[in-house]
A and B are shown apart, each in its own frame.
Chain A
Amino acid sequence: MIRIENIKKSFGEKEVLKGLNLEFHKGKNNLIIGRSGAGKTVLLKILVGLLQPTSGTVWYDDVDFTKLGKRDLREVRMKVGMLFQGSALFDSMTVAENIRFPMDMFSTKTKKEKDMRVDLCLERVELEGANDKYPGELSGGMQKRVGIARSIVLEPKYLFCDEPNSGLDPKTSLVIDQLISSITVENNITTVINTHDMNSVMEIGDNIALLSDGHAVWQGNKAEVLTTENQTLQDFIFASPFLLKLRDSFVKD
């Protein structure tokens, strides 16, 4: 479980996060949603320590993450996987080398065990046989999946995904969402996902937080989204007339 207390973040004059209190649960898909520029990426980077909050605390179970020294921080990070908005695959390495990299760095497995683990992870993301391809030869969706494979190779306890399905077609998005979701449940890990994709929200949203104007203005699950009275959430989700109509027919039934 991850808990944040009164997280604030400013860039110069501009206050992006204005005091957030949220909990992200174990074995659940925790979604952070919000308009573009709401501060989702900033929050995620604070959660993994790539950015320092101006004030506030991040708790990993009962460890105060924001107060850790460099060495302890790395200790925690070995239990953390992250999928970046742009995948961040090492482009001069092959797919297999990318996935092996965390193991080469930190695990005492033999070469054979590592190879097997790579194959297993690739199989998990349905990319068997892509071992020797370079990231540049893959489509965006495939790169995302390699990114997922790399982030789960050391069996993390916490998984962070920054817009895992931005720029993907709805069907591929769904595959990615379901992949992340099943990994979360199978391994009982704490997963935090940034998204502004409503399909994801309705598909895998176990615990959803809406960011708006630097505050978490709503928190709930996917069922509660449909019946919400919260105006900001309604404006965000039912942004198009088509969706509004859909909801009205839904609620009537």
Chain B
Amino acid sequence: MLKRSLFHFGRFIQWVPQILSRPENFRMYWRETMRQMEQIGLGSFLIVFLISIFIGAVTAVQFAYQLTGFTIPRYYVGYIVRDMTLIEMAPTITCLVLAGKVGSNIAAEIGGMQQKEHVAAMEIMGVNTSSFLVLPRLIACIVMVPILVCIASIVSMIGAYLGSVPTGMFTSDEFIRGLRAFFDSYHVVMMLVKALVFGIVLCLVSCYQGYYVKNGSVELGKSSTQAVVISNILILLSDYLIAVLLT
């Protein structure tokens, strides 16, 4: 197990410089990047939206419940929801979901191309396939994942509002006062750092899993599952590390 992880880690480290080498044709890379942005960004919008609405609503309701009986001002709920969302919920939950959706898709797509010898065919043409298949996806993730996370954070707060105010838990004024209280823009920076790191992690892990798939449809399924599982573990691990480093 440890030996296998070390093997993968070593191969991964050797692989990265090839991804980052100079593109042979900027136009093709640009076109591919645009396609990936559309697929990763627009393609994930709906699920991110839905999940964020509910996460926001649940956070608000849960906190309102937990705080009953304490002598804490009620508007604090808005404040707690905001910071919870920014620091933890929006980046982490969104990226765990994206690892499932985008990550498995990337691994299956590249893995399928590898198995059907499309990758070999490109190599023979002289294409640097490590770069051509990974770099556009990496750029797309670097751009789109933080955007999706920002959207998620806003939608979550709207969800919190919709989940608590109409049911009469507190008034609209109280909630909004809470949202605006003690605002620290550093939390937004933290959110963006997390989104960026998680995006890179889930993209590279999934691309690696697809690119080095073995033959057979069982292996293709395995690599796409592995992509999700390993991305999730590494996202949570880096979540912890970022929390330690940035607070």
Is B11 interfacial (CB 8 A cutoff)? no
B25, B28, B116, B127: which contacts A88 (Cβ < 8 A)?
B116
Q: A6-17 interface mask toward B, CB cutoff 8 Å, 1 = contact, 0 = none?
A: 000000000000
For chain B, give the interface size range. Answer: 10 to 19
Contacts of B128 in A (CB 8 A): 70, 74
Least CB distance from B196 to A in Å reads 29
Task: Kindly state the separation between the CA atoms of A31 and B125 in the bound complex, as whole angstroms.
Answer: 22
A75, A78, A91: which contacts B125 (Cβ < 8 A)?
A78
Q: Are A74 and B126 in contact (CB under 8 A)?
A: yes
Contacts of A123 in B (CB 8 A): none
For chain A, give the interface size range. Answer: 20 to 34
Is the contact region of chain B dominated by helix, strand, or loop, or is it mixed? helix
Least CB distance from B66 to A in Å reads 50
Q: Are B121 and A82 in contact (CB under 8 A)?
A: yes
Q: Are B124 and A50 in contact (CB under 8 A)?
A: yes
Q: Are B116 and A77 in contact (CB under 8 A)?
A: no
Residue ID in chain B nearest A104 by CB atoms: B28
Is A129 interfacial (CB 8 A cutoff)? no
Least CB distance from A213 to B in Å reads 25
CB within 8 Å of A: which B112-139 residues: 113, 116-118, 120-121, 123-128
Is B238 interfacial (CB 8 A cutoff)? no
CB within 8 Å of B: which A68-93 residues: 70, 74-75, 77-78, 80-82, 84, 86, 88, 90-91
Is B172 interfacial (CB 8 A cutoff)? no
Contacts of B113 in A (CB 8 A): 90
Given known A86-B116, A88-B116, contact A106–B121 (CB-CB < 8 A):
no
Contacts of B124 in A (CB 8 A): 48, 50, 77, 80-82
Is A251 interfacial (CB 8 A cutoff)? no
A77, A78, A90, A105: which contacts B28 (Cβ < 8 A)?
A105
Is A102 interfacial (CB 8 A cutoff)? yes
Q: Are A50 and B126 in contact (CB under 8 A)?
A: no
Is B18 interfacial (CB 8 A cutoff)? yes
Task: Kindly state the separation between the CA atoms of A59 and B18 in the bound complex, as whole angstroms.
Answer: 25
Is B219 interfacial (CB 8 A cutoff)? no
Given known A70-B18, A105-B24, A105-B28, contact A88–B117 (CB-CB < 8 A):
yes
Contacts of A48 in B (CB 8 A): 124
Contacts of B24 in A (CB 8 A): 74, 105-106
Is A218 interfacial (CB 8 A cutoff)? no
Contacts of B18 in A (CB 8 A): 70
B: residues with CB less than 8 A from A are 18, 24-25, 27-28, 113, 116-118, 120-121, 123-128
10 CB-based A-B contacts, threshold 8 Å: A48-B124, A50-B120, A50-B123, A74-B128, A78-B125, A82-B124, A91-B116, A104-B27, A105-B24, A106-B125
14 other contacts beyond A77-B123, A84-B121, A90-B113, with CB at 8 A cut-off? A48-B124, A70-B18, A74-B24, A80-B126, A82-B124, A84-B120, A86-B117, A88-B116, A88-B117, A102-B125, A104-B28, A105-B24, A106-B25, A106-B125
